[in-house]
Structure 1
Amino acid sequence: MAHLNVEFIQNLIAEIQSSRINTSEELEVFRLKYLSKKGLIAQLFEDFKNVSGEKKKELGKPLNELKKLAEKIFDDAKNSIAAASLAENKGEDYTRPAGLLPVGSRHPVSQMIEEIVEIFSRIGFSVMDGPEIEDDWHNFTALNFPPEHPARDMQDTFFVTKNPDIALRTHTSNVQVRAMESMKPPIRILAPGRVYRNEAISARSHCFFHQIEGLYIDKKVSFADLKQTLLYFTESFFGKSNIRMRPSYFPFTEPSAEVDVYWGLNNEVDYRITKGTGWLEILGCGMVDPNVLKACGIDPEVYSGFAFGIGIERIAMNRYQIPDIRMLSENDMRFLKQF
């Protein structure tokens, strides 16, 4: 009882904190000294019963801290020694609870495709797929690419063999050709998929990326129908209703246009992605060229239609503020876990 004072308890706390327990033998010595029924802490609590009321208030708190500290150090050392022993023996502890498997997530490109498909499915568009290795007819000729068009050159196209008629598709428009060849109007399809271009890889461009193209063929389809469809898309996807259509050129559409959505200039990011204009380019589009309709066996005197194409990586980079397109294909788990 003579030892039961605050200074003595504080010295014991410091002594326990400095303990180094690395083996089962050292663990047992610690238990016997401090935590056994005849150990030091049990003796202190026995003495505590005979302390006067005023002194109980002074000694009760540090005494409880001493006991909790000793128990914690004992438990931590016990777990550490057990884990080290298990690792050394390379055994399996079948009594341990099973851990939860990590939950996967959808790739940002897949998320964008699914969202766009869902938006257009509300107005009757269905999804159609096609081959990534394509012949010249479906990839170029049927789409009104003349023989001298630069897209046919080796610098833009990956040819699979020495035969220039077989190449990796440069757009998903090949699916549109197959749809027009195999289906009768009205045709209303979406063609998502991976495409390939023989381009230098950088933070803003890659030799492969994803597109989703849309096609609508029917009687009396006009440019006004195209504009209204794209306005519906921008309102649904971006929450923006202000778009502009700039004249452009594509071999398979006439007239053709690039579509920009007014993004705004609310912060530094807006200035960067719109190059200070407030307008963000999102897709290309146009009315299907009559030559394309003829090549696919559709009478341009009876039917007309529009087509549009969206680059998925560009939209994903804007949506999630991804600075480098290469991050979308490097399979870095630190990046993918964010989605």
Structure 2
Amino acid sequence: MNELKKLLIQAKIDFSTAVSISSLENAKSYYLGKNGKLTQYIKNIKNISINERKRYGEIINSIKINIKKELNIHRDILKKKQLKVSLKTNKIDITLPGRGKNKGGLHPIMRTLERIEKIFYSIGFDITDGPEIETDFNNFTALNSPKNHPARSMHDTFYIKNRYVSNNKPLLRTHTSPMQIRYSKINKPPIKVITSGRVYRIDSDSTHSPMFHQIEGLWIDKNISFSDLKGVYLNFIRVFFESDNIQIRFRPSYFPFTEPSAEIDIVFQDGPLKGNWLEISGAGQVNPKVLCNMNLDPEKYIGFAFGSGLERLTMLRYGINDLRLFYKGNINFLKQFT
């Protein structure tokens, strides 16, 4: 228990010494993030004796409330300081003539999306999208994620309280994969489709955002193999980056909706990223259980699926090193892509 009190004291010190909003948010992730210090104590509840759990849980909850309270206090302080500096340095001269209207441009993520869709459309893939509010069934159960899957935790997923859709608790979708189920139930094989859109997870730092974009591919037919997946994805990567000097590798992994599964890494043979392997996608052959949930016969049909983050591909293509730049609305940053 003393360790928890020390954690609160240290959090207060770290929040009070943060010199910017970004450093404060990084401190928040350190204590309250998915793998934060306080989260580790929460996960340890299962190891506490039943008689002590209630008291232990009350103390953790009290510490969490106080940490959030301190966080909000120092966030407001930093915002006020930021506003004062902005008012001093960005004074408006009302005697200047009015500015002309400037032409707008596509956001870099939308540029990436359009580029990817054109590439896959050129090789016969349909383009579709789906709802951002999904059912628990489509988002998890139909994709072979059991009820005790960690992604269903309130710490990882945005659930919508007090509302039910077809007896399934709705949530902001955590990935674009639910469209595999929706699309396959209204279209017969062969199925070749690309789907994209916003997805939501409770995570925020320089490389993660609570809202981000994914693009996902699905190909189901009677004779689709892992080699087809490799050929399609390698072709896509080389066209997307406009370079033949890129290699890919499939690293064994686990996803409940594919079997076998792999992480896809790429390595550039030239340029500033030369020689560095970078993970850009998850992929695999569609799990037979998922095919059954698509109302397809797994003895007759086979296929593959892959999913990539649009932000990551955009950052690699344009050399951007901080994901948060996409959402700050900084005109000087966005002008580079018009």
TM-score, normalised by the number of residues in structure 1: 0.67
Q: Quick one: distance in 2 between partners of 1:227 and 1:266? A: 24
* CA RMSD between the two structures: 2.1
Give ranges in structure 2 of 5+ residues lacking alignment: 1-93
- Alpha-carbon distance, 1:334 to partner: 2.0
Which residue of structure 2 aligns with residue 193 of structure 1? 197
Q: Quick one: distance in 1 between partners of 2:147 and 2:287? A: 17
- Aligned ranges for residues 140-219 of structure 1 at < 5 Å? 140-162=140-162, 165-199=169-203, 201-219=204-222
Structure 1 pair 127/266, CA: closer, same or farther in 2 (3 Å)? Answer: closer
Structure 1 pair 114/266, CA: closer, same or farther in 2 (3 Å)? Answer: closer
Q: Quick one: distance in 2 between partners of 1:129 and 1:183? A: 14
Q: Quick one: distance in 2 between partners of 1:237 and 1:190? A: 15
- Aligned ranges for residues 1-339 of structure 1 at < 5 Å? 101-162=101-162, 165-199=169-203, 201-238=204-241, 239=243, 240-264=245-269, 266-267=271-272, 270=273, 278-339=276-337
- Alpha-carbon distance, 1:295 to partner: 1.1
- Which 4+ residue blocks in structure 1 deviate beyond 6 angstroms? none
Secondary structure in structure 1 of the residue aligned to 2:321: coil
Work out which of the two has the higher radius of gyration on C-alpha atoms and give 1 or 2: 1
Contact 1:117-1:190 at 8 Å conserved across structures: yes
Contact 2:190-2:219 at 8 Å conserved across structures: yes
Secondary structure in structure 1 of the residue aligned to 2:179: helix
Q: Quick one: distance in 2 between partners of 1:312 and 1:266? A: 21
Which residue of structure 2 aligns with residue 44 of structure 1? none
State the Cα deviation string for residues 226-246 of structure 1 (Å, max 9, x = none). Answer: 111111111211224421110
Percent of pairs with identical residues: 49
- Alpha-carbon distance, 1:115 to partner: 0.6
One-letter amino acid of the structure 1 residue matched with residue 149 of structure 2? H
Contact 2:246-2:268 at 8 Å conserved across structures: no
Q: Quick one: distance in 1 between partners of 2:158 and 2:180? A: 20
- Alpha-carbon distance, 1:216 to partner: 0.5
Which residue of structure 2 aligns with residue 27 of structure 1? none
State the Cα deviation string for residues 72-123 of structure 1 (Å, max 9, x = none). Answer: xxxxxxxxxxxxxxx88x9x9xxxxx98631111100000001111111111
One-letter amino acid of the structure 2 residue matched with residue 232 of structure 1? N
Contact 1:186-1:217 at 8 Å conserved across structures: yes
Contact 1:265-1:278 at 8 Å conserved across structures: no
Contact 2:311-2:323 at 8 Å conserved across structures: yes
Q: Quick one: distance in 2 between partners of 1:235 and 1:266? A: 14
State the Cα deviation string for residues 132-183 of structure 1 (Å, max 9, x = none). Answer: 0000111111000011110111111000114571100000001111011111
- Alpha-carbon distance, 1:317 to partner: 1.3
Q: Quick one: distance in 1 between partners of 2:269 and 2:154? A: 39
Contact 1:264-1:279 at 8 Å conserved across structures: no
Contact 1:219-1:303 at 8 Å conserved across structures: yes
